[in-house]
Amino acid sequence: MCRNIKTLFNFEPPATEDEIRPPPLQFVSKLSGFNKPSQANEAAFGARGLGSLESARRLLASLHTHAPSRDREIEAEKARERSKLRFG
């Protein structure tokens, strides 16, 4: 649905607030169809974005795994390699 949303769980170091904030807001934008809401819808848009953000925080805080944490740089390199193979 939202291609720019990245996995945030089970990384070392853990996801920062700046990494957690964009996906819920992108999700609300996608659902509403607004990139930037009108003044009449701004309050509802902002409230849903903040509610989604809090849900995302709670989700990440409550997840548990026995798998070892992944390294962000290694995962980014894997993504670059996949992109090279796909797009040349």
Q: Which amino acid is at 25?
A: L
Q: Work out whether the CA dihedral 22, 66, 58, 29 comes out positive or negative.
A: positive
Identify the pLDDT of residue 29: 81
pLDDT in tens, 56-73: 889 999 999 999 999 989
Beta carbons of 56 and 44 less than 8 angstroms apart: no
In angstroms, the Cα distances linking 72 to 17, 32, 80 are: 16, 31, 12
To the question of pTM greater than 0.75 for the whole model, the response is no
Identify the pLDDT of residue 68: 94
Q: Which residues of the chain have pLDDT under 70?
A: 1-4
Beta carbons of 2 and 27 less than 8 angstroms apart: yes
